[in-house]
């Protein structure tokens, strides 16, 4: 094995995702004691980030190979496997990396600091190493695991010269309670693999339900304890209360291992969200950031609203269309319209499509995915004008693990005979020149996939209240404009918009099409990522004047849509979903409140004037969005109602996550687990 590969193995064993969890407690307490970034503090930050985690998890992996081999989580971001033939080399590396750094810390940290360091390392070793192996002793396993994170905080104070009496014992006790709950939460998902390997744990002894109750109690105790430490403590407690969602998710479905895995994934992401907020509170506590609440609120809200405004402008600029470069040739294209119970909307969609198809050589395929409202008959009547160039296909029964829309799109792609494919939603109406412009853009940009961001149609007052939340989030915080830059050639920056999506058939086949991510609830983004992954290029063009989409004619439809899309489009990450809600409140809600509150409480004139800045940025954002995306101007005045309904619907999506309710659309459940991209499968060989 090469040195690079060996180092890579050691990094995976050390769990990079956990480095900050042990380094930050040391740094925070040490800095609180000295208020200086000393060399000793930096040395401790390094030692508790990489060497300590290699020790903690490396010893664990060496002695737990039998159970790790049965655990599907191992070998990923949550740690690698250490087979017996690599055990000795791993232990040598652990000693070589830990002894020098912790030796230096002990030398400069004094006798009490050295004693604390030794105790910390001993607890880390005995957790996994025989004969004690406290990880196999119920309750003791969670306690010693908690000490892995609390003891670095103790060391942070004592190594830099602090005393035991000066330690914040109440907060340290809360930290231990948090660690106990977090370890017990992680143990729930490993019940089956631990029992299979004969390993005991608090979860194997108490079972999923009782362990989840213990986790809930531990997290609740943390929230209460932290809330007693002044105003900053109350803010921290609000953030830490989000951890209560995790055991509640297990308690909602204690018999389902998937619930425990979902909760643990939520825990990993939530650590970063909560850690960011707690770090900001610490910086405020130390006087390193603005200490005036007005300055903080105005600056944060103005920054968030300013980001939304800038993103909207950049998206419009980055998606601008290029001059036509067509050569007068009528290109051949197949338009695939997936539908399920769309009889009321298909006639308008297909009538407009037939007009747009006159400028190109187009075939139209309506793929019915089990409609019960007469959609196939409505489509057949509308397509009669196209003769043989218009067909209605009935998709076979959807296989397990597939989402309905992706399945219908794949069936349509299989039946297509042209070099270009356009996937068009059944509720999207094209303008007469739309197909011609999109094909021209595909050629001008030398792209393999082009999607057009259509305008939202909202003819009723209800829609003007319920619908704008979707473009507000999309254009305010999603960096769509990056898809038109060199960064857009990377998977993480690719983007596509599902209602109107044009792709070269060769690129579709090369990427595996919708079959590469069959269970996706965000098939547009995943298809774009797969195209880029297979060497293609994607682009996004402004299409507010090329097509309109009427997705959600009622408020109930809009709420149902948020419940379906919020977490899938956030990568099924609880933390990102919560961050999206917080970002919207900060950018679109707080600016509405600052000026009235400042006037009511009699704030200084300077504060009142400054409070106008975030409000002005918010209004500017809404006006820019209205102008560029052709939204009714009245939606700006209805903004407070829009925000309230949008956030309420998104909170319901979080509640669905906690309850383990499956995502549903058009009367069907969507696959409950995210499906990673699979190797490309030729469209003609779709598994049925």
Give residue-wise pLDDT tens across range 396-408.
Answer: 988 888 888 899 9
More confident residue, 86 or 224: 224
Q: Could you report the per-residue pLDDT of 309-326, keeping only the tens digit for each? A: 999 999 999 898 876 555
Tokens for 18? 């956990």
Residue 2 has pLDDT above 50, yes or no: yes
* 447 in the same domain as 437: yes
When the pLDDT of each residue in the chain is averaged and rounded to a whole number, the result is 90
In this structure, are 510 and 638 located in the same domain? yes
For 524, counting Cβ atoms within 10 Å of its Cβ (0-12 exposed, 13-18 middle, 19+ buried), the class is: buried
Confidence of residue 483 (pLDDT cuts 50, 70, 90): confident
Segment 92-133, tens digit of pLDDT: 999 999 999 999 999 999 999 999 999 999 999 999 999 989
Note the pLDDT tens digit of each residue in 500-532.
999 999 999 999 999 999 988 899 999 999 999
The predicted model gives 574-602 an average pLDDT of 96
**Distance between CA atoms of residues 626 and 620, nearest Å:** 10
- Assess whether pLDDT exceeds 90 at residue 652: yes
**Using one digit for the tens of pLDDT, what is the confidence trace for 171-184?**
999 999 999 999 99
pLDDT for 4: 81
Residue of higher predicted confidence among 666 and 610 = 610
Q: What is the 3-state secondary structure (H, E, C) of 315-354?
A: HHHHCCCCCCCCCCCCCEEEEEEEECCCCCCHHHHHHHHH
The residue that leads in pLDDT, 687 or 245, is 245
Domain boundary among 120, 149, 166: 166
Q: Is the pLDDT of residue 684 over 60?
A: no
User: DSSP class of residue 83?
Assistant: -
- Let me know: does 394 contact 368? Beta carbons within 8 Å: yes
Non-local (6+) Cβ contacts of 228 within 8 A are 170
* Digit-coded pLDDT (tens) for 272-307: 999 999 998 999 888 888 678 899 899 999 999 999
Counted residue by residue, the chain has a size of 688
pLDDT band at 486 (very low <50, low <70, confident <90, very high): low
pLDDT at 678 over 70: no
Per-residue confidence band for 6, with pLDDT thresholds at 50, 70 and 90: confident
Is the pLDDT confidence value at 23 over 60?
A: yes
140 and 196 housed in the same domain: no
Mean pLDDT across 381-397? 91
With a cut of 80, say whether residue 49 has pLDDT above it: yes
CA torsion sign for 220, 223, 229, 230 is negative
pLDDT at 219 over 70: yes
Are 282 and 390 in the same domain? no
- Of 675, 672, 674, nearest in space to 657 by CA: 672
Same domain, 597 and 560: yes
| 408 HSE (CA, 13 A, CB side) | 23
Same domain for 279 and 135: no
Q: What integer pLDDT is reported at residue 381 of this predicted model?
A: 93
Could you tell me the two tokens for 28?
């925070």
pLDDT band at 596 (very low <50, low <70, confident <90, very high): very high
Q: What pLDDT score does 17 carry?
A: 84
Q: Are residues 657 and 682 in the same domain?
A: yes
Mean pLDDT value across residues 75-80: 55
CB 452 within 8 A of CB 438: yes
Q: Which residue has the higher pLDDT, 470 or 398?
A: 470
CA distances from 121 to 55, 107, 155, 161 (A): 8, 15, 11, 20
Domain boundary among 237, 264, 289: 289
How many domains does the chain fold into? 3
Predicted confidence at residue 682, as pLDDT, reads: 39
Q: What is the pTM of this model?
A: 0.89
Q: Sort residue 323 into left (φ over 0), alpha (ψ -120 to 50) or beta.
A: beta
DSSP state letters, 551-615? --SSHHHHHHHHHHHHHHHTTT-HHHHHHHHHHHIIIIIHHHHHHHHHHHHT--HHHHHHHHHHH
Taking alpha carbons only, the member of 128, 144, 53 closest to residue 93 is 53
According to the model, what pLDDT value does residue 68 have? Answer: 63
Q: Which domain holds residue 43?
A: 1-166
Share of the chain above pLDDT 90, in %: 69
> Are 515 and 416 in the same domain?
yes
Q: Are residues 195 and 157 in the same domain?
A: no
Model confidence at 688, in pLDDT bands (50, 70, 90)?
very low
Q: What is the pLDDT of residue 118?
A: 96
User: Could you tell me the CATH number of the domain that includes residue 85?
Assistant: 1.10.357.140
How far CA 294 is from CA of 302, 524, 595, 605, in Å, comes to 12, 42, 11, 12
Which residues fall within 8 angstroms of residue 639, CB to CB, at 6 or more apart? 468, 588, 592, 618, 622
- Domain C-terminal end among 258, 289, 320: 289
Do 305 and 443 lie in a common domain?
yes
Take residue 534 and report the two structure tokens written for it: 């297979």
> Where residue 192 sits, what CATH number does that domain have?
1.20.120.1780
Give mean pLDDT, residues 641-661: 97
Q: What is the CATH number of the domain that holds 385?
A: 3.90.550.10
Question: Would you state the pLDDT for residue 329?
Answer: 63
Candidates 326, 332, 400; CA nearest to 362 is: 332
Q: Are residues 418 and 347 in the same domain?
A: yes
Nearest 10 degrees: Cα torsion 487, 493, 497, 502: 50
Q: Assess whether pLDDT exceeds 60 at residue 575.
A: yes
Contact status, residue 477 vs residue 311, Cβ threshold 8 Å: yes
Q: How far apart are CA 348 and CA 344, in angstroms?
A: 9
What share of the chain in percent tops pLDDT 70? 92
Give Cα separations from 420 to 407, 439, 503, 524 (angstroms).
Answer: 19, 9, 6, 17
Strand order across the beta sheet in which 390-394 lies: 390-394, 361-368, 332-339, 420-424, 500-504, 449-456, 538-549, 428-430
| Residue 86 and residue 214 in one domain | no
């Amino acid at each position: 094995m090469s040195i690079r590969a060996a180092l890579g193995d050691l990094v995976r064993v050390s769990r990079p995702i956990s480095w900050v969890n042990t380094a930050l407690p040391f740094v925070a307490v040490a800095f609180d004691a000295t208020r200086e970034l000393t060399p000793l503090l930096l040395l401790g930050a390094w030692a508790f980030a990489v060497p300590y985690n290699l020790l903690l998890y490396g010893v664990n992996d060496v002695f737990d190979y039998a159970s790790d081999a049965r655990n599907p989580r191992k070998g990923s971001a949550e740690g690698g496997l250490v087979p017996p033939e690599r055990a000795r080399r791993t232990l040598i590396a652990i000693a070589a990396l830990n002894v020098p750094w912790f030796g230096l810390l002990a030398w400069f940290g004094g006798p009490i600091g050295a004693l604390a360091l030794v105790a910390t390392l001993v607890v880390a070793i005995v957790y996994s190493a025989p004969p004690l192996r406290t990880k196999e002793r119920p309750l003791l396993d969670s306690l010693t695991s908690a000490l892995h994170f609390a003891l670095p905080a103790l060391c942070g104070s004592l190594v830099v010269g602090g005393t035991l009496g000066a330690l914040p014992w109440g907060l340290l006790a809360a930290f231990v309670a948090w660690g106990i709950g977090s370890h017990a939460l992680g143990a729930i998902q490993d019940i089956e693999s631990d029992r299979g390997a004969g390993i005991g744990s608090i979860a194997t002894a108490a079972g999923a339900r009782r362990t989840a109750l213990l986790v809930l109690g531990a997290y609740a105790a943390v929230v209460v304890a932290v809330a007693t430490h002044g105003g900053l403590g109350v803010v921290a407690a609000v953030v830490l209360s989000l951890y209560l969602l995790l055991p509640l998710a297990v308690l909602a479905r204690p018999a389902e291992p998937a619930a425990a895995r979902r909760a643990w994934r939520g825990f990993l992401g939530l650590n970063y969200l909560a850690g960011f907020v707690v770090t900001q509170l610490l910086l405020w506590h130390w006087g390193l950031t603005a200490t005036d609440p007005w300055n903080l609120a105005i600056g944060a809200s103005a920054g968030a609203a300013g980001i939304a405004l800038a993103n909207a402008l950049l998206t419009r600029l980055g998606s601008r269309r290029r001059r036509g470069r067509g050569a007068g040739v009528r290109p051949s294209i197949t338009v695939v319209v997936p539908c399920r119970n769309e009889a009321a909307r298909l006639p308008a969609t297909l009538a407009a499509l037939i007009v747009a198809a006159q400028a190109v050589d187009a075939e139209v395929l309506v793929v019915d995915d089990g409609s019960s409202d007469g959609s196939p008959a409505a489509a057949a009547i509308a397509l009669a004008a196209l003769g043989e160039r218009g067909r209605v296909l009935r998709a076979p029964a959807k296989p397990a693990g597939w989402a309905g829309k992706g399945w219908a799109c794949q069936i349509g792609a299989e039946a297509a005979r042209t070099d270009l494919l356009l996937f068009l939603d059944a509720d999207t109406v094209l303008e007469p020149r739309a197909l011609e412009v999109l094909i021209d853009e595909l050629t001008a940009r030398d792209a393999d996939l082009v999607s057009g961001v259509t305008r939202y149609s909202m003819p009723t007052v209800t829609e003007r209240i319920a619908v704008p939340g979707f473009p507000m989030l999309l254009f305010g915080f999603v960096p769509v404009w990056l898809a038109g830059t060199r960064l857009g050639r990377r998977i993480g920056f690719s983007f596509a918009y599902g209602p109107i999506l044009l792709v070269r058939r060769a690129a579709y086949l090369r990427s595996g099409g919708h079959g590469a991510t069959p269970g996706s609830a965000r098939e547009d983004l995943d298809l774009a990522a797969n195209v880029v992954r297979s060497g293609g290029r994607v682009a996004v063009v402004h299409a507010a004047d090329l097509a309109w989409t009427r997705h959600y004619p009622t408020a109930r439809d809009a709420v149902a849509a948020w419940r379906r899309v919020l977490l899938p489009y956030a990568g099924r990450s609880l933390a990102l979903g919560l961050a999206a809600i917080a970002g919207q409140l900060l950018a679109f809600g707080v600016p509405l409140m600052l000026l009235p509150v400042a006037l009511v409480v009699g704030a200084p004139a300077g504060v009142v004037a400054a409070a106008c800045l975030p409000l002005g940025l918010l209004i500017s954002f809404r006006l820019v969005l209205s102008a560029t995306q052709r939204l009714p101007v009245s939606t700006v005045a209805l903004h407070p109602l829009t925000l309230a309904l949008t956030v309420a619907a998104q909170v319901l999506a979080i509640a669905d996550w906690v309850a383990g309710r499956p995502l549903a659309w058009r009367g069907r459940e969507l696959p409950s687990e995210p499906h990673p991209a699979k190797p490309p499968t030729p469209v003609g060989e779709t598994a049925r």
